[in-house]
Amino acid sequence: MQFWKVESIGNDFVLIHLSDLENVEGAPSADFQLASLAVQMCDRKFGIGGDGLLAVEKSDTGIVLRMFNPDGTEDFCGNGIRCAALHAQQEGWVATSFTVTHLGREVAVQIGDDGCIATTLPPASYDPDKVPLIGRRIFNETVWSGMDSGMPLSLFGSGLTTGSTHVIIPTAQLPDDDTFQSVSPKIEHDEKFPERTSVIWSQEIESNVLQIRIWERGVGETLGCGTGSAAAAIDYLRRKNRGGRVEVRNPGGTVFVTAETWESPILIEGSAHVVYKGRFRNTATP
């Protein structure tokens, strides 16, 4: 099957067309094929390598997108939306304004002449049922307590969703490698988060400028996260009790997040690129 390697702010994906999945008698279901292909194709040693698998098809209003993490779990992905949108335009499926249908959400997309891709996400939510989070909502308070290098550690932050679950930890300095690699997976698998959570460590560089370090659920450390950037910006604006435009510097690149208030729809502006394309044998089918 044909694939494209795509990336946005260092968040890299393998992209395929849903129509290329085997649809013959006796073949596994599309869900099984996609989960299996995500594990195979995203493997950085024996596959193509990527932070996830994007599967796209044309629709009446734009495109439909499904995204699977390297462990085979399905998720919502902001950077994936930008990558899929660019691919759809290059394939001639869409013009410059269209809709991406992704995991039950309708995301408006606008591609500018300069290559900037603007996407509008629904408002963020701290509602425990939507995050999801077991217990009461968490905003700017203790989000995790445990041991780090034999010492007790309590972290303040928030739990919210911008389409995908995130814990935002505002910090004066981003964590060193030992703390990041030790604590982040513990928070990801904390029992308060029944579907696990991504962990975004966020440092305010100056007013309206954040530097983040990302631990993505089902992936590990990544260079970029669109929904995580949105969550960090919205949580920042909520703590500042205002709206605005926030520059969010990911390790792999920068996006700009704008919201009138923290309860408003979220505009994310960034870029995406096709790195190369090739062919892959689908061993998820007989």
Q: Do 83 and 29 share a structural domain?
A: yes
Output the pLDDT for position 148: 81
Per-residue pLDDT band at 24 (split at 50, 70, 90): low
CATH code of the domain in which 8 resides: 3.10.310.10
Q: Does residue 125 sit within a domain? A: no
Q: Do 149 and 73 share a structural domain?
A: no
Rounded to 10 deg, the angle between the 226-240 and 78-90 helix axes is 130
Q: Do 17 and 87 share a structural domain?
A: yes
Q: Does residue 286 sit within a domain? A: no
Average pLDDT over residues 179-190: 96
- Is the alpha carbon torsion for 230, 73, 222, 21 positive or negative? negative
Q: Does residue 38 sit within a domain? A: yes
Output the pLDDT for position 60: 95
Q: Do 91 and 157 share a structural domain?
A: no
Q: Does residue 129 sit within a domain? A: no
Q: Do 160 and 78 share a structural domain?
A: no
Domain that includes residue 85, residue range: 2-112+272-279
Output the pLDDT for position 22: 72
Question: pTM here?
Answer: 0.92
Q: Do 259 and 146 share a structural domain?
A: yes
DSSP per residue, 131-173: TT-SSS--SSEEEEEEEETTEEEEEEEEEEESSSEEEEEE-SS
Q: Out of 26-30, 194-198, 270-274, which region has the weakest mean confidence (pLDDT)?
A: 26-30
Q: Do 56 and 8 share a structural domain?
A: yes
Q: Does residue 122 sit within a domain? A: no
pLDDT, tens digit (0-9, with 9 covering 90-100), for 59-115: 999 999 999 999 999 999 999 999 999 999 999 999 999 999 999 999 999 999 999
pLDDT, tens digit (0-9, with 9 covering 90-100), for 9-21: 999 999 999 999 8
- Number of helices and strands (H, E) in the chain? 4, 18
Is the predicted pLDDT of residue 283 greater than 70, yes or no? Answer: no
Q: Are 120 and 266 in contact (CB under 8 A)?
A: yes
How much is the mean pLDDT over the chain?
95
Output the pLDDT for position 194: 97
Output the pLDDT for position 94: 97
Q: Do 98 and 170 share a structural domain?
A: no
Per-residue pLDDT band at 282 (split at 50, 70, 90): low
Q: Do 173 and 68 share a structural domain?
A: no
Per-residue pLDDT band at 286 (split at 50, 70, 90): very low
